[in-house]
Amino acid sequence: MNLKNSSILYERGQKNLVGAVNSPVRAFKSVGGSPVFIDHAEGSQIVDVDGNRYLDLVLSYGPMILGHQYPKVQEAVSKAMRKGYTFGASTEGEIELAELVCEAFPGMDKVRFVNSGTEAVLSAIRLARAFTGKNQIIKFSGCYHGHSDSLLVAAGSGLATLSLPGSKGVPEEAVKNTLIAQFNDIESVKKQIDSHNDIAAVILEPVAGNMGVVVPDPDFLEELRRVTQEKGILIIADEVMTGFRSKFGGAQELLGLQADITCLGKVIGGGFPVGAYGAREEIMQMVAPLGEMYQAGTLSGNPIAMACGLSTLLELKASDPYQDLNETALKIKDILLKAADKYEVDLQVNHFGSMINAFFTNQKVIDFSTAQSSDTEKFKIFFWSMMENGVFLPPSQFEAWFLCTAIDENDLNAFEKAVDASFKTISDKFNL
């Protein structure tokens, strides 16, 4: 596989960028080798600077649900660009996107736009503390909620990829109010609730997507809502990944969970940097300028980003592609499991709507520790073989793969061939 130009850029980038990247997972550290640099992407395909073409199952970690360069979205962005890029004053697009988002989330009367999922979540936590007058939060091991200080404990995503328990530079005081529980284990939540009386909120990804895809047990969510409600503890649903991915709105609705505060990102920006947090009226009344919880941003609600998000959501609303996306996910799951069976490789495939991924383990993956039972050596071989066979996957066992509406039968056939070749390679290497 020719990655000459990518390697040259990787070397050149080392001088003035940290590790030649702007987000650690992109450095391919856990899979080894030189990371690819991208030239362009269109539809379901992404092309690197050496001209290698891949079926894109990274999709910028979620936003590109309509595929790359979707014509109506392109048009909306170009139109917005012709009016200027940012004004430091409000525009109609912010209201239009807010109306659409609030309509799609029954628990959201008001929303505040920010620039990333990290910002959305750190603001939501401040809001939960302001509203309840309490300080502690419970987070789940393996869930990742961005890189703000108080949440870099037992986190998934890049930390899991790099096997880091937390981050240097985070003071003990910043995490002393962060309590850890286990996903899908309500007893671990009850234990924390029973032994602390200053808990403002429980934060979770309703479907975890940063330890690979881990789906919640319906009983777990039901009990979680019950025990938190009993104690006046808020639930913050981090739907940065899941928002508008499995339905027009949130995964929480499909799962029967009613969160108090919801965080969004990724799809709502359609590929531009947008995050958001929203809640019912009485909670959002706390946020400045209505209330005394302060949060601000010069580029928040940026008109180009709003136009991109708005046209993406309008297209999703009109075309309602969720059933088709789910069927594509089921086909992909089937392809993976059949190949695993043929080559006698232990494999679990978890999926929720258009989020999916594979774990090389014989254990059912229900939480962070079972996710970590995956054989990452096998993943490494799988990853590079898939790349060589034209499929771009996240370079980490612990990132979800994403599907877009542009994936067609040809893509699925190509995926099937790549999977067969990759499982054969694994089988040969591990003498299975």
The residues, ordered by sequence, that sit 6+ positions from 225 with a Cβ below 8 Å of its Cβ are: 235, 257, 258
Least distance in angstroms from the C-beta of 157 to ligand HOZ: 4
Angle between helices 92-104 and 303-319 (to 10 degrees): 40
Determine which residue in the list 158, 249, 321, 395 makes contact with ligand HOZ, applying CB under 6 A: 158
CA dist 39 and 41 (Å) reads 7
Is residue 163 near ligand HOZ by the rule CB under 6 A? no
Which CB, 237 or 335, lies closer to ligand HOZ?
A: 237
Which CB, 27 or 97, lies closer to ligand HOZ?
A: 27
Among 375, 380, 389, residue whose Cα is nearest residue 29: 380
Least distance in angstroms from the C-beta of 26 to ligand HOZ: 6
- Chain positions 90 to 149 lying near ligand HOZ, rule: CB under 6 A, are 144
The residues, ordered by sequence, that sit 6+ positions from 276 with a Cβ below 8 Å of its Cβ are: 101, 111, 112, 113, 114, 120, 263, 264, 265, 268
Least distance in angstroms from the C-beta of 250 to ligand HOZ: 16
Tell me the C-alpha to C-alpha distance, in Å, between residue 250 and each of 139, 236, 261: 19, 13, 12
Which CB, 61 or 220, lies closer to ligand HOZ?
A: 61
- Chain positions 241 to 270 lying near ligand HOZ, rule: CB under 6 A, are none
Angle between helices 322-342 and 409-429 (to 10 degrees): 30
Q: Among this protein's residues, is 10 annotated catalytic?
A: no
Is residue 312 near ligand HOZ by the rule CB under 6 A? no
Q: Among this protein's residues, is 322 annotated catalytic?
A: no
Which CB, 111 or 211, lies closer to ligand HOZ?
A: 211
From 56, 238, 367, 375, the catalytic residue:
238
3-state secondary structure of 161: helix
**For residue 347, which phi and psi values (nearest 5 degrees)?**
-150, 140
Number of residues that bind ligand HOZ (CB under 6 A): 8
3-state secondary structure of 348: strand
Across the beta sheet with 355-359, the strand order is 348-352, 355-359, 401-402
Is residue 23 near ligand HOZ by the rule CB under 6 A? yes
Is residue 210 near ligand HOZ by the rule CB under 6 A? yes
Q: Among this protein's residues, is 238 annotated catalytic?
A: yes
Among 208, 210, 227, residue whose Cα is nearest residue 219: 227
From 139, 266, 378, 380, the catalytic residue:
266
Q: Supply the DSSP symbol for 217.
A: P
Which CB, 94 or 239, lies closer to ligand HOZ?
A: 239
Binding mask 39-78 for ligand HOZ (x = CB under 6 A): ----------------------x-----------------
Class of residue 404 by CB neighbours under 10 A (exposed 0-12, middle 13-18, buried 19+):
buried
Is residue 25 near ligand HOZ by the rule CB under 6 A? yes
CA dist 258 and 286 (Å) reads 20
Determine which residue in the list 52, 115, 157, 354 makes contact with ligand HOZ, applying CB under 6 A: 157
Nearest residue by C-beta to ligand HOZ? 23
From 144, 277, 322, 343, the catalytic residue:
144
Which CB, 93 or 212, lies closer to ligand HOZ?
A: 212
Determine which residue in the list 315, 367, 399, 411 makes contact with ligand HOZ, applying CB under 6 A: 399
Tokens 């949130």 sit on residue: 250
Residues engaged in binding ligand HOZ (CB under 6 A): 23, 25, 61, 144, 157-158, 210, 399
Which residues are annotated as catalytic?
144, 238, 266
